[in-house]
Structure 1
Amino acid sequence: MILAVARKNYLVEATRWSYDSWNIFHRFLGRASLFFAVVHTALYCGYVYEKGENFGPLWSLNYWNAGVAGTLAMCWLAGPPSVRWARQRDYEFFLALHVLMTVGLLYLCFVHIFWMFSVEWLWGAVAVWGMDRAMRLWLSQGATSKAISEIKGEVIRLTVPVGPGKALLKKPGQFVYLRFPQLSWIQKHPFSIAGVREVTAVDMVDTGDDAVPLLNTGKQHQHLELVFTIRPYRGVTKALHALGNTTVQVAVEGAYKHHIPLPDDTVFFAAGVGFALVLGYLRARKGGKAYWAVGRSEDLWAFEELFAECEEGELDGLMINYSGLRMADADRLERLGIKINKSRLRISEVLDEWEQDSLKGEKGERAVMACGPERFLDECRVCVDALDGVEYWEEVSTK
């Protein structure tokens, strides 16, 4: 159950399940554990009653008290604080309470069974948790860095400098966890990396002189800049949007990778800022079929700089569907070689055409990958279900 929500869950690669799927499985395991704990408690109470023993003396025994407290802790863990509306209302409170209650539950389990039964499975749980925390620490980028947050409408474009190296960051499907200390000390959010830049900067020193505050040392250093496109939802992202155009301290943990073995014949669908995940694959594959449903002009603004950095051919297979496209935006996109369709994206028609093209040639492995809000993914899922022999992958993004 702990491994299911570990950041570095190696079963993701082994099973090819997504992190979201493992998160859902974690909830299922939690509810199943609660069910068996309640059944265990009821059966043992029935056993004591059948023997004609009094329950009073049991309250002086550590194993009994720990068992009762552990069952109540599991009821609380899987109960009110963990339902969806409670998590969304105050995720930071939920997360802190969830971690503390889990630590307490592990301790109670030790007390409950240590006197009689084997505890190797408990030590295994502690080891998995400890290794995951150690891996998170190792993947952290060290001290916080000063990021540039730009706002247009309901979209945030965040540029975060990180140290040199980290070749993993340049691979498609990467995401990192970001923490904003001035907004929250605990809460971290996963964000797909929309772009990675190599930057050469000149080292400057503070002279302490108001007339010439900074002095060029003549030395240069290289670092990477990670670009994220974020649509504020609630909590930290909403608070970040409220800061406006500013600089903000950011702590970076990662990178982590979506273990998605996509075949060559893959069609990508994206909506809104969900295009961040798709763009990485287009650049790594030097092109590919991709359809992007744009609802607002700020979505285009968020990716304009990244489009300009793309190499020739990387955006040849991209089709942008945006009924409200302005002439100025259309001219800029056409100069970059991007195709434009001033109508709504019709996923079923695109897939039907793709299916017909596949029938003309040799049929190999095929897949569809989608990233966007839940309603958009629902439509993608229904359309792909109508096709035979097509794998489907998805990633949820905010609207």
Structure 2
Amino acid sequence: MTKPGVLPNQALQQMIEEGIISASPDILAEQIQPASLDLRLGNTAYRVRASFLAGSGATVANRLGEFEMHQIDLTSGAVLEKGAVYVVPLMEKLNLPDNIQAVANAKSSTGRLDLLTRTITDGGVEFDRITPGYTGPLYAEICPRSFSVLVRPGMRLNQIRFRSGQAVLSDEELRARQADVGLVSGDAHIDQGLGFSVDLRPENGDLVGFRAKPHTGLIDLDLIGHYDPAEYWEPIHTSEGRIILDPGAFYILVSREAVHIPPDCAAEMAPYLAMVGEFRVHYAGFFDPGFGHDAAGGSGSRGVLEVRCHEAPFVLEHGQVVGRLVYEQMSDVPTQLYGAGIASNYQGQGLKLSKHFKTL
């Protein structure tokens, strides 16, 4: 019987061996993360008229017949254009037992490119949520928001996390953890999770973030450390401790707090409350065990905030709470931690663009 909690890498390996998770071609060792599995794009993308969910009793394949505009062969690389919506069958499939559910999310680099990527399933009535006992294929819905991107089969834009039962830490448990091991630097704002605030008064200089430029070139997702940030991003400076968010614009900002995810926990970034402002924070929401953990080289890891402003200009001020981390207990401590020898890109980070850009 699986203990309640998020399943660690060693449990994922066992699920692969038992055929609960399968793929063609076979799953690679580097897809397995401390508390999640990277999902790979298949060979074909379908350009669709609109985003959709399959809905109860229907398959994604059948719904594609309603919304498909044309098919795109990805085998030699293909461009997914800014503002368009695509559905891509993934290489992985599931055959979940009745006591295991799953949740998917964009990977960190995907979110930092404003590349809205969500997982849909046959019979699905929610994005990124896979019900216990689900058997069937997985699909990625991809909508590039700020930059057109070049993709190929096997690229990993999103990831999936499996859990047994409910293991969300209560506010009382979070306060005990904060007192014992420290979950954030400074004072902890705990209310249905651990509050995240924005840093608009950096200790060094007045650079507080970046805003995506509206008309840019293509980004090849295979090229790491390749692109000049100045061609794609406008730096945001302020000495006043506040900025005004423009409607429709996409920003990369950073949390005021350094975050710590203990080895026996995982976390997910959730939006705060719609009442606090006209913006959405953080497309890429998984924080793995070991993020910001001293023993895994992560002392002082900030949370990068992916912010999109909605209908009205909005004044964002230093220290304003913009999101919350929901912590969950792991069913077992992972045998590998974020940053500890697994080529994690954002351990020990501060304000940082995606890995595709040259270091400033």
Normalized per residue, the structure richer in strand is: 2
Normalized per residue, the structure richer in helix is: 1
Report the TM-score when normalising by structure 2. Answer: 0.24
Report the TM-score when normalising by structure 1. Answer: 0.23
- Relative contact order (C-alpha < 8 Å, sep 6+): which is higher? 2
- Greater Rg by CA: 1
